[in-house]
Every structure is written in structure tokens, then in C-alpha cells.
Structure 1
Amino acid sequence: MTQVTERGTSLSAAPRAGVRRRSPAAAACVVGGAVAAGLGLGFLAVLVIVLWISSPYPDSGPGGALHLAAGLWLLAHGTELVRYDTLSGVPAPVGMTPLLLVALPVLLMRRAARLGSAAEEEDEVLPAGAVFSAVLCGYLAVGAVATVYAAGGPMSADPISAAWHIPLVAVLAAAGGVWGARGRPLGPLPSWLPGGVRRAVVRPRYALALRAGAGGALVLLGGGALVVGASLAWHGAEVQSSFLSLTGVWSGRFAVLLLALTLIPNAMVWGASYALGPGFALGADVTAAPLGFPGAPGLPRFPLLAALPSAGPGTPLTWSVAVVPVVAGLAVGWFAVRRAREVSYGETALTAALGSVVCGLAMAGLAAASAGPLGSRRLAEFGPVWWATGAAALAWTAVLAVPVAVAVHAWRNRPAMGPGGLDALDADDAVDDGWHDSGVREVRWAAMRKAAGALIPEIGVSVPTAVPEVPAAPEVRVRRAVTVVAGLDLDPGLLVGKSAESVEPVEPVSGPLAPPVVGARVLARRKPPPE
């Protein structure tokens, strides 16, 4: 039987009303994802149209320029394109993704997810999963349309490659946007994971390992940028000649400059792989490495390719790039050290090793993203090999990071040194305050243990029967009143230097005594240095 509320609506219809209230917000998230994809497509379309209009010899109409813009948008997601108008008639794949171009869809998708998470509808915020799904649906719908549209252009997208590259980029960007909008919560791990795994992941070693690995990867990328920049400056004449010989009009040179700028992150990864040792491939059976470069005469003329090392065996100049992975290993070891004395050396070494693993995985992923084919036959393999680059980064950083981390940990936790070294910390440096005199401390401890009963266990401290006489300081005589709490059954005669008349009894205090401190050590205080 359906129950009716005071307003005449059934209770069973309440959940449906909630769904209807949420539907505008969900629709707004879908539209936000579609707008993010449209903005990326529109930016590239405007850029390509401007270059097409300014070109004195356009080889296609506006339709061809729009097809090319759609292909570039798909290439920004890592989708492999196929070029059919080749001289040999054999379709040539183009799979090298300019990494700077990837930032466009990632930033737009992340912004759409953040706005969807912050949108409210009648004081009700959509759950994170709903925002993520809605934004993703809108983005993937536009991606499917762009894939179909680009199939009729000069560079059509591979459907299989587009089917997993576009969702991969969209999922990662949307997840980052929702996570950032929710305040970047780490959150508990799923309950279906074993308890030992969930407890181990919350340890601080993993956060330190991520920080150390990211620091090592950034050092490698910075070193790769220095290697590329130095090579461009060393081969400045060849680079200038290559840039000027490609085209003679300003629009063409501007397009070449834009392409070179979008490939700078790729060049940084290639430079890091070169410094690590494996180098990068420049075609079939051709690899540029510090130990030698056989040369690649069939390469196209391009400013970045003009900065390749000279053909021949390695020289001390090319071997000097090994400084980059050495500095990266030192950085991983430095960032893997916790500023706490209770951390063991084994924990520090394990954290450094995990940081090396993170650095190796990061460099392997970047190497895989920066490589790809630029054609067929000789240009089918172009860029660093991902597994070789990751293994080299892991080996370099692990060998250096572990001993560096242990050494830094030992240096930070070294014992305090006096003015004359450890030998200067003798009994003469302790402050004669009366509390640490022989016998006084034991007597007071015995009195407290007697009053506490079973709260304080026996620790085998021998209590002297007679209290040694403690000489009073002749310079300053201070009369202090001592307050004794009833219940301790403390003999006033045990208090050295005090008379029974100076004891002022107070009201009894109910409640247990404070629990004993286990493992505490009493250290001698040093005298202040003479002025």
C-alpha cells in the first residue's frame, strides 16, 4: 500500500524526485566534458586554419585543414595516425606524440572535472563517481565523432589505437580533476585488500619513496634538457642551416618552429635516455649512445635532428653526460631520508630502494610516451626503448641512492659533540643541582614506589638505608616550602636539607598516580659556556 505525504505525494516517488534534482547537474557535467573536447579541437582548428590561410601554396582546401586539425587532436592523445599520400605508395604510420601537445587535452579535461565537482544543484553536490562518469561520457562522445571525421582526411586515425588512447588520457585527467576538487584526499584503501597491505601502504616510507622517485626523474629530465641545449649550441650552424632550408616563407618557418617547440619535452626524455646509457633509436639498427654513434644519413632535415652527435666512437665529451644519472642518484638518496631518530638504517635503505623503483617506472613511462614511428622501413623505430631506459634509471639510482641515504641518515642522527669532543662530556660538565646526587634520587624513587603500590613494578633498585649527607651550597641559601600530598606516606626526614616544621600538609588527592615512564633516560645537563 502506497503511503501519501501531507502534500499528496507518495513516499515511493521521493527517490525519483532526488534523481530528477540531480539530472541537471549530471547533464551539466556531460556538457562540460563535451565542451572540453570541443575547446581542444577548436584551438587546433584555428591554428591550422591560420597557417593554411597564410601559406602561399596551400595543397588542400579548408576541409583538408579541418581534417588535419582533427588528426592532430587525436595525435595529442597518443593515437597513431596513418599517412597514405607517400612517394612509395606504402602507408606510413605516424605515432610519435609531441608531449607538449598532450598538455592541452589534459588541462581542459581536468578543468571540466573540477568545475563539475564544484557545481551545486539546490545545495546538493554530485558524488565523485557521478561527476567522473558524466564528464567522461561527454568527452568520449566528441572523441568518437572526431575519430570518424578524421578518417576522411590525409592522416586518418587508427581505430584500435584511438579506442584505448583517448579513454586512457581522459580517465587520468578526469580522475585528477575530481581528486583535486575533493581536496586531494588519500582515503582508505578498498576493504577487499588484505589488512597487512592496507596497513603497510599508510606507512610514511611510500610517500617518501614517491617524493624521492619524482625528484630523481625531474633531475634526469633537467639533465636531459641541458644535454640537448648544449648539443644545439655546439651544432649551432647546422641547426640554423636546417631551419632555413626547410622553407622560405614566414608561415612555413613559424609552423616548423611550433613543431620544434612541441617536441622539446620529447627531446628532454631522449637526452635523459642518452645520459643514462641506452640512448635512443634513429631507425632500424641505428642507436645514438654515449659509447658511439654510427650515423644515420637517411634522416629528414629538422633542427632538432641536426644537433645529433658526430658519427664515430664515444669521446670523453660524450662520456661526461654520466654526471646526470649520478646527480639523480644523489637526489633520490637525499629525499629518501626521514628527519626522525627512531627510523632504522634498514628502513632508510628500503625507502631509497623504493624511490629508485619509482624513478625507473617514471622514466620508462616517459620513454614509451615520447617514442614512436615516423614512417615505414628506416623510420619505423624512433626514440628511446622504454624498458632499457627504465632499467638504466633503476640501476643508476639504486646503486647510488641506498648508500647516500644511509650516510645522510647517520650524519643527521650523529651524537651531540661538546667543545672538546665526546671525551669532554664527563662528570664535571653536569650541573650540580642536588637532584642527581648519589642516593637522593634512589630515596625519592623508593618513596614513590612505596606509595604507588603495584602500579610501579620492582626494578631491582637498591635503596640505601642511610641517606648520605649532601652539603648545601654556601653561596646562596634559599628556604623553600615543600608541599606533601597525603597518601604518599612519605617520611619528612627523607627530604634532605628540610625540617619537619617546614612541611605544610594539604587535603588528600584522590585518584591513581601517573603511569610510569618506560625507557626514559636521564641525561646530564651541560654547564653553560662561560661568558
Structure 2
Amino acid sequence: MTSLQSSPVRRAAGRPGKGTARSDADLRRALATSRPLVPTATIGGAIAAGGPLLVCLAVAVVGWFLTDAGGAGSPSGALRVGAHGWLLAHGSSVAVEGIRITAIPLGLTFICGWVAWRVGHRVGESVSGHGPDADRIADGARDWTVPLAAALFATGYAVVAVVTSAVAATAASSPSVPRVVLWSVLLGGLVGGAAIAFGSGRAAIWLPVVPVGVRDAALVAGRILRLWALVSLVALLVAFVLDFSTAANVVSQLHADAGAVLLMTLVTLGVAPNAMLFSSSYLLGPGFTVGTGTTVSTSAVVLGPLPMFPLLAALPDQGAQPWWTEWLMVTPVLLAAYVAGRVQRDRPVLAWDQAAIRGCAGGITAGVGLAALTLLAGGAVGPGRLAHVGPYTFEVLLHAITSFGIGGVLGALAVCWWQRDGDGWVRTRLSAVRLPRRRD
């Protein structure tokens, strides 16, 4: 995080050689944090969008050479495939041989968001010298540096997205430009804007203004989501490893060479977050569908013909499920109770209502956030039955806010009771125990 310069430093920076001498380090710092705001933020947004785009284009060209050594198609076609993959990561639906694909590869979207954060953080450091300094901001002076930089950053990002859509579009593919622009604004404006706020040091001034209860609830929600993502990923990996022979059999039936296997692995990594959200929906109870008329849940599994994709080996066997799978729905309650208890231990509040509200609010917020992410996990991935694949989002919302909310309340209240009365209760019981005196 870049600290804002105080008033004396800025006055010295504005009058070099008049009273206050500056070292070379101070001069370099002043120049590095006072770059022109408009070009810096705009070009930063374009770089954040163009970096992952160039990687997608390069991977598509390499994949084209690996699959058929350039015997079919053309380099321009490979580049168009890479551009369509990048557009899919930004919410654009793309038609492939007349089949509309709407599912978003969230792994690639995550990479784009990470790049936007890193570039936005650098942009924030570069423009932190603009606007009022820390003293004036603390006194209530208006500071438009971050909003203006975030808007310019999102504009540069959206321009690259629109140009890519226009160049890569064909009459057959017809990508959705409005959705690409919307996602570009979200990634550039929200993710990039937040990174600019942290990089410029403004977030360190604004966050303490937020009420402590809101920050604590957000802390509980964030920790629940991170730990739940880890649990869902572990469950997915365990299911895949236990039936790895099926995945190997699928690869052998496809007669894939090393290049095709490499591309298949990259595609699998691109949809790994989607699969993790499918696993999350399964653990919560509602489950998901892998085609019209199918369902996968802890109580029953009904499957139909599936595409030859190795990751689908992680699906459970069709039919009635073992008795213990129903108990998996206890996992989110225990996890939320653990997280809320840890936060209560680290940041104790001795009032029962405050502890309960913090745990409940954090759990409900985590449930809403998980449902929002789950909404992005599904979509159309093929023709016919595969036009509807994904978790049951509304059921996930109900189960998540209930499980996380109840778990958060129970965990927070349990640790709060221990902090208020538990230690005294234990000391009272221990003091009641009298060891027999030793007689000489």
C-alpha cells in the first residue's frame, strides 16, 4: 500500500531548491507517484485486458499446431478461437457450429480478475500523488482521484473488449457485445477500482470509517467463503481421484495425443472453479444438473448420456446414495460455527446480541455471496440436453444462508459463553476438587 504524502512533503516537492532540499529518493518517489492520471489509468485498463487476451491467443495458436501440425484451418482461425475463449471468460455467449455456448470458464475469468487487480494496484501507486494529501482527506476534503482513475481504467478495459468482439465476430459465432461490455465494466471498475484504492492508499483512510460491526461481519463472511471453497475443492479432488480410472479410460477412448491431452488439461483447469461450485452445491444438499432431466444430489443421482470429458469421472454413481452422504449437509454448519468461533476468539465481544448478530450476519452474507458465484457456474455447454447444466442456484441460496447463518450464530455464542462464563465455571469446578493431604 502506498502512503499518501503529507502536506510538508508536498510543499517541499513543489518548491525544489527553495528552503527544503530533497534527496534523490524523495524525488524519485514524487515522480513515481505523480504520473499523469488520465493516460496512466486508461492505458492500465487496456493492459489489464490485453495481457490475458494475448495469452489466450498464444495458447490457441500453440494448440492449433499441436493438434494437427497446422494441417487444418489457418492461423487466423486459431486466433479467433483464442479470442472467443477470452470473450467467454467475460460473459459473452458464442455459437460453435450452430450451438450456443453460454457457460463461463470461471478459471479464466479469475485470471483476468487477478491481472486487473495487479495492474490496478500499480496504477493506484502511480497516481497516489494526485488529489488532496492524507491530512486534507482526513479533514473531509473531497478526493476524486480513485473514482476518476477507476472510470478511466474501466473505459480502457472496455475498449479492448469491444475491439476484440468486433474483430473476432463472425456471422456464425456472433458474440454478445453488451455482456462483454458489462463484464469489462465490472472487472475494470470494481476489481480494478478496488485495487486502485488500495494501491493509492485511500482504502487505508476509508476503511476505518466503516462501522466495526460491518467489518467484523465481512471478516466472518470472507473466511467462511475461503474455507468453504477449500472444502469443496478437496471434495472434488477426492471424488476425481477415487474414480481416476474412468477419466483415464475416457482419454484412451478419445485417442488423444500429448498435445490434445495438454489442451484438455488447460480446459479442465479453466472450468475447475465451475466444478468446485458444483461440488459446493452437492455438499450443501440441493445438488446440480448435468443435462435436462438429470440430477446429482446427496439423496439420489439420475444421469443420462454424458460427453466424453475426463472431469465428469468425479460424478457419483447413478442410483440411491449411501446413508452417510445425507450427513454431508452438516459440513457447512460446522464450518460456519468454526469460523465464527475463531473470529469471536480473536475479536471478542462480550454482549450476547452482538456476538450472535456478527455470526449470523457473516453467515448470511457468505450464503448470498456463494449463491451469486453459483449463479455464474452453469449454462449451456452443448446441444440438446446439455443446454442446461449447472447447480440449482435458488436452492443453494436457501441452504447456504440457513446453514451458514445457523452455524455462525452457534459458533459465536458458544465462544462468547466460554469467554464470559466458561473460564469461571472451569475454575469453580477445579477449585472444588481437593486432593487428599499426605500424612507423614
What TM-score, normalized to structure 2?
A: 0.80
Which amino acid in 2 is paired with 1:32? G
For residues 410 and 418 of structure 1, the distance between their equivalents in structure 2, rounded to whole angstroms, comes to 10
Q: Is the alpha carbon distance of 1:409 and 1:35 closer, same or farther for their aligned partners in structure 2, counting shifts above 3 Å?
A: same
CA deviations 1:98-156 (Å, max 9, x no partner) are 222113322232233223222269x7569222322222222111111001112128644
Match of 2:79 among 46, 57, 66: 66
- Where 1:281 maps in the other structure, the secondary structure is strand
- Where 2:100 maps in the other structure, the secondary structure is strand
Aligned to 1:148: 166
Aligned to 1:233: 241
For residues 285 and 345 of structure 1, the distance between their equivalents in structure 2, rounded to whole angstroms, comes to 47
Q: Is the alpha carbon distance of 1:129 and 1:161 closer, same or farther for their aligned partners in structure 2, counting shifts above 3 Å?
A: closer
Retained in 1: the 8 A contact 2:124–2:198? no
Match of 2:156 among 130, 134, 138: 138
Aligned to 1:348: 355
Retained in 2: the 8 A contact 1:106–1:169? yes
Aligned to 1:80: 93
Q: Is the alpha carbon distance of 1:144 and 1:255 closer, same or farther for their aligned partners in structure 2, counting shifts above 3 Å?
A: same
Retained in 1: the 8 A contact 2:290–2:303? no
Q: Which aligned pairs between 1:89-488 and structure 2 lie closer than 5 A?
A: 91-119=98-126, 124=130, 127-152=145-170, 155-183=173-201, 185=203, 202-297=210-305, 299-337=306-344, 343-414=350-421, 417=424, 421=428
Retained in 2: the 8 A contact 1:283–1:382? yes
CA deviations 1:366-395 (Å, max 9, x no partner) are 211221111243112111122221211111
Retained in 2: the 8 A contact 1:215–1:335? no
Retained in 2: the 8 A contact 1:29–1:112? no
Give the superposition deviation at 1:321: 2.7
Count of residues in Structure 1 that have an aligned counterpart in Structure 2: 386
- Where 1:293 maps in the other structure, the secondary structure is strand
- Residue range with higher mean Cα deviation, 106-115 or 43-52: 106-115
Higher share of residues assigned helix: 2
Unaligned runs of 5+ in 1: 1-21, 86-90, 190-198, 426-531
Give the superposition deviation at 1:255: 0.4
- Where 1:185 maps in the other structure, the secondary structure is helix
Unaligned runs of 5+ in 2: 1-33, 132-143, 433-440
CA deviations 1:68-120 (Å, max 9, x no partner) are 1111111112222222x1xxxxx322122222211332223223322322226
Which amino acid in 1 is paired with 2:94? L
For residues 114 and 400 of structure 2, the distance between their equivalents in structure 1, rounded to whole angstroms, comes to 28
- Where 1:223 maps in the other structure, the secondary structure is helix
Is structure 2 residue 61 aligned with structure 1 residue 49?
yes
Q: Is the alpha carbon distance of 1:182 and 1:421 closer, same or farther for their aligned partners in structure 2, counting shifts above 3 Å?
A: same
- Where 2:292 maps in the other structure, the secondary structure is coil
For residues 317 and 422 of structure 1, the distance between their equivalents in structure 2, rounded to whole angstroms, comes to 38
Give the superposition deviation at 1:212: 1.4
Which amino acid in 2 is paired with 1:79? S
For residues 183 and 374 of structure 2, the distance between their equivalents in structure 1, rounded to whole angstroms, comes to 16
- Residue range with higher mean Cα deviation, 218-227 or 24-33: 24-33
What TM-score, normalized to structure 1?
A: 0.67
Give the superposition deviation at 1:420: 7.4
Aligned to 1:31: 43
For residues 229 and 151 of structure 1, the distance between their equivalents in structure 2, rounded to whole angstroms, comes to 37
Aligned to 1:519: none
Give the superposition deviation at 1:343: 3.0
- Residue range with higher mean Cα deviation, 328-337 or 299-308: 328-337
Aligned to 1:505: none
Retained in 1: the 8 A contact 2:89–2:105? yes
- Residue range with higher mean Cα deviation, 373-382 or 53-62: 53-62
CA deviations 1:480-510 (Å, max 9, x no partner) are xxxxxxxxxxxxxxxxxxxxxxxxxxxxxxx
For residues 360 and 380 of structure 1, the distance between their equivalents in structure 2, rounded to whole angstroms, comes to 27
For residues 213 and 412 of structure 1, the distance between their equivalents in structure 2, rounded to whole angstroms, comes to 22
Retained in 1: the 8 A contact 2:224–2:366? yes
- Where 1:309 maps in the other structure, the secondary structure is coil
Give the superposition deviation at 1:264: 1.7
Which amino acid in 2 is paired with 1:356? G
- Where 1:157 maps in the other structure, the secondary structure is coil
Q: Is the alpha carbon distance of 1:46 and 1:222 closer, same or farther for their aligned partners in structure 2, counting shifts above 3 Å?
A: same
Which amino acid in 1 is paired with 2:242? W
CA deviations 1:339-384 (Å, max 9, x no partner) are 6776311111111110111111121012112211112431121111
- Where 1:370 maps in the other structure, the secondary structure is coil
Give the superposition deviation at 1:160: 3.3
Which amino acid in 2 is paired with 1:143? A
Q: Is the alpha carbon distance of 1:150 and 1:334 closer, same or farther for their aligned partners in structure 2, counting shifts above 3 Å?
A: same
- Residue range with higher mean Cα deviation, 358-367 or 107-116: 107-116
Give the superposition deviation at 1:317: 4.5
- Where 1:304 maps in the other structure, the secondary structure is helix
Retained in 2: the 8 A contact 1:55–1:251? yes
Q: Is the alpha carbon distance of 1:268 and 1:414 closer, same or farther for their aligned partners in structure 2, counting shifts above 3 Å?
A: same
Q: Percent identity among equivalent residues?
A: 24
For residues 317 and 40 of structure 1, the distance between their equivalents in structure 2, rounded to whole angstroms, comes to 43
